[in-house]
Amino acid sequence: MTFPQQPQQQPFAEPPWVVEKRAKKKKRLFIGFGVLAGVIVLTIATVVVVGVVVANSDKVAYQRLPGGPDEIARAYADAVETRDPVKLTNVDCAPSAEYPASKSVAGFAEHGTTVTIGARRQNEATRVSFDVEIRRTDAAPDPSILWVTQEEGGSWCVGLGGTGLPA
């Protein structure tokens, strides 16, 4: 016994407005994911740029002060006068027995000290020296030497030598 074959039924056809609505939903979803991905990429890029700027800011603002040794010596004397060692926190030379500049600025601030830059001395190949007079409120003026050198990386280094340095 054979049954008559049922005719194949056509799948239910959705009305056009339902198809259109579904397409709009997909489009909005694509746009939403695109905007979200864009925001994430921009956030990451901003963090990277800010990190690079912050990491290099002391190199730009402090280590690579504009000008030559004369301007660096003047900046040092100004930092002592204004009691503001911040500008000179990164101008110390490589560790040595010589007195580093930023430590001396901080020490001078405690003793009411001024540094007067005098004549430029005979220059060596890697160092420019200046005669300076260190004046402290509790002691007589002390003739000293301030030197400015430039390290291989381009950083300026400032140091002092003399007996009038704060302990």
What CATH number should be reported for the domain holding residue 103? 3.10.450.50
Helices (H), 8-149: 16-58, 69-82, 101-111
* Confidence at residue 59, expressed as pLDDT on a 0 to 100 scale: 41
Q: Look at residues 107, 115, 126 and name the one whose alpha carbon lies nearest to residue 69.
A: 126
Of 67-81, 95-109, 126-140, highest mean pLDDT: 126-140
> Number of helices (H) and strands (E), helices first, in the chain?
3, 5
Asked if 80 and 113 count as a contact pair (C-beta separation under 8 A), the reply is yes
pLDDT exceeds 80 at position 26:
yes
pLDDT exceeds 50 at position 60:
no
* Confidence at residue 12, expressed as pLDDT on a 0 to 100 scale: 72
Q: Is residue 76 domain-shared with residue 146, that is, in the same domain? A: yes
Residue 71 falls inside a structural domain: yes
Asked if 110 and 120 count as a contact pair (C-beta separation under 8 A), the reply is no
Residue bearing tokens 């009038």: 164
Q: Look at residues 5, 165, 17 and name the one whose alpha carbon lies nearest to residue 98.
A: 165
Q: Is residue 112 domain-shared with residue 57, that is, in the same domain? A: no
Q: What's the mean pLDDT when you consider all of the chain?
A: 70
Residue 72 falls inside a structural domain: yes
Of 60-74, 102-116, 135-149, highest mean pLDDT: 135-149
> What's the whole-number mean pLDDT along residues 11-17?
77
Q: Is residue 157 domain-shared with residue 79, that is, in the same domain? A: yes
Among the three residues 40, 63, 86, which one is the final residue of a domain in this structure? 63
Please, which pLDDT band fits residue 51 given cuts at 50, 70 and 90?
A: confident
The domain in which residue 38 lies consists of: 17-63
> What's the whole-number mean pLDDT along residues 43-48?
91
What is the CB neighbour count within 10 angstroms for residue 122? 6
* Confidence at residue 141, expressed as pLDDT on a 0 to 100 scale: 74
